[in-house]
Amino acid sequence: MGRIFSLARQHIVPRRCRAASGRGGGFFLKTGRDRPPYCAGTVFSWQWGRLWNIVGLIAILPAWQPVSPYEHPFNQVPMQENNFLSTKNIPVHDRLIFALDVSGPEAAKQLVNQLGDSVSFYKLGLQLFMAGGYFELVRWLQDRGKKIFVDLKFFDVPQTVRSAVRELKKYGVSFATVHGNDSILRAAVEEKNGLGILAVTVLTSLDQADMEDLGFRADVRDVVLSRARRALEIGCDGIVSSGLEAADIRQELGDRLVIVTPGIRPVRNLDDQKRTVDVEEAFRNGADYIVIGRPIREPVDFATPREAAESIQERIRTLFEGQHP
């Protein structure tokens, strides 16, 4: 028995030193290369006395658990969180915009009724526009106290875009998206008169490889920042941007633009969106609003769309607790 403890004393290092060894498990052999210099004080030594060695060995054996060295706190790099949480005077409940991407007005009304007061802001896109009854649906939503984001991404010659914005103003919607170069954005801004013009930066369904396929030889982040700068200079009210670039925009341009962030995946991403973030990350990176469609419309972790929307609203309330109601 004495021989066993003698060998243990000479060749085994207790659990405290395993992170420095770069190996998993609770012990490692104390060969010349393996012994970390700062663990010398924990090596079983005759200086502690034979009885202390035995007691120490017995004490640590029940607590031993194999742990990967990558999980040990000595080896972990702390995650840095951005702190660009919006301070704009926006009702917390309005910060969630639901993408009403369904097959027609009747399906849209059914879903709106199902969501009830869990959603107060709706985005209406191209699918509903092509289904017919688009502006009748806008009026129907407004009669129920809902806010509207018209996401038709106007992209045409400047005069046509100017005329489109002029016609849209009479419906009293909150936001409209415009895509294109400076002259297109400028034409929209010149006619906005209270309508919030959002410049599209880079679609969240595009990644770096897609951008290169389109002929861009710049990093996605650089393209987004360039378009955000131009939108601000021209007089746009805000931009549509992935949450991945929102922090860079806030860092460079401050709080002067509204940032609307689509591509939100509350838990996991199973669809065609590529540059995604979750709810908390989007807002901490500087988003003022988030746009969510499929995770609410086709919930994976909830029984109904309303439950999914309410869960997201609760997460938003927790983030903005103490700010505007």
DSSP string, 199-219: EE-S-TT--HHHHHHTT--S-
CA–CA separation, 82 and 249 (whole Å): 12
Beta-strand (E) ranges in the chain?
12-13, 28-29, 96-99, 121-124, 147-154, 175-178, 196-200, 238-240, 258-261, 289-292
Cβ-contact 102, 297 below 8 angstroms? yes
Residue type, 184: I
Give helix then strand counts, H and E, for the chain. Answer: 14, 10
Q: Which two tokens stand for residue 96?
A: 């969630």
CA–CA separation, 96 and 260 (whole Å): 10
Q: Which of 109, 146, 153, 169 is flagged as catalytic? A: 153
Q: Which long-range contacts (CB under 8 A, 24 or more apart) does 187-192 make?
A: 187/158, 187/159, 187/161, 187/162, 188/154, 188/161, 188/162, 188/236, 189/234, 189/235, 189/236, 190/162, 191/162, 191/165, 191/166, 192/165, 192/237
- The angle at the Cα of 280, spanning 279 to 286, to the nearest 5 degrees, equals 100
Number of Cβ atoms within 10 Å of the Cβ of 215? 6
Cβ-contact 323, 87 below 8 angstroms? yes
CA–CA separation, 219 and 284 (whole Å): 23
Active site residue 153: yes
CA–CA separation, 280 and 285 (whole Å): 8
SS3 state of residue 87: coil
Number of Cβ atoms within 10 Å of the Cβ of 252? 11
Cβ-contact 146, 94 below 8 angstroms? no
Catalytic residues: 153
